[in-house]
Amino acid sequence: MMADSAFHGDPAVKAQALERLRRHIAGGSFVYFPAWEDGKANVIGAVVEADDTPSYAAQLGYPIALAETLPMFVNGFRPKAEAERFAEAWLERTPVGADLTRIVSQLVLEMLGNPDLVALTERHPAVKQGRLAIMALHRRAIDGDEPDRKTWKAARLAAVAATDALGEGTLDRRAGQVVEAAAWPGTMRTLLRDTLSALSTLEMYLALSGIGWSEADESRVFQIREQAEKDGYMSELSGIDRVLAILDADHPALGKQFRLRLERMEKSEERYRSAGWKTIEMMERAPVAVAPVPAQ
């Protein structure tokens, strides 16, 4: 039996997982977080009834990197009804017995082929070379020729060195950090989560750069908010509403920019949603490695 064959080829395992998830959804106890507390559960806890991602992966036959990233996918959906719909689709659309061993590297390859990332890495030969080298290693893994630890380490060290040579806080450096994050085998627990997070961060900063939002603007808003806290200014409001009211009243130009910044931040969640649906589509197309166990 393959460790990463979906539901270990047993439809009963899938049925039980779906039943548990749906029970929490119907009962209103499905949450984004925590994983398992006071009867409430997230996408992992609802199935294994514990805060135990490795157990989720082992019980259902998902690669640990997919299980680790699943809550990140779910957290990208708002309102919660959409998160619940995705969580159900994740289990429903995963074929019983599907070979999921190549999915993580396939997803990483897609991210390393992101047009914005490619354009930024093209400006630095060492970073470009690192991206291509790491893509080649993931392709080898997909083809069944898994590189050894020494090979992965060499590629990773080269990627880190190339990134370290770039300016702190620049878009180029953030691109290099995506490449760094991807320099691990598909069996690495945090590989997919970290690569997805790094790419989402890069895309967010690209979007903010597009509207002229800078680190200085971010710092200025933070200082304005801190001063308002000390002075009790507009204390009848709270959270983002308070920040927006203060900016509109005292710094209208900055307030207009800050609203654009919020819109771009919200759109950055689309990276997690699209990656989540892409993962489901890949799992649907995965070859069946274990023939489903006949129903009793």
Which pTM value belongs to this model? 0.89
pLDDT band at 213 (very low <50, low <70, confident <90, very high): very high
Q: What is the mean pLDDT of residues 218-236?
A: 96
Flag whether pLDDT at 295 surpasses 80.
Answer: no
Q: Residue ranges of the alpha helices (H) in 211-285?
A: 215-231, 239-250, 252-268, 270-285
pLDDT band at 167 (very low <50, low <70, confident <90, very high): very high
Distance CA 279, CA 63 (A): 12
Residue with tokens 């029970």: 23
Write the CA distances from 165 to 57, 132, 155, 184, 288, integer angstroms.
Answer: 38, 18, 16, 21, 44
Q: Which helix (H) or strand (E) holds 178?
A: helix 171-181
Report the greatest alpha carbon distance in the chain: 70
Q: What is the mean pLDDT of residues 228-235?
A: 96
Distance CA 232, CA 286 (A): 57
pLDDT band at 134 (very low <50, low <70, confident <90, very high): very high
CB atoms within 10 A of CB 19: 10
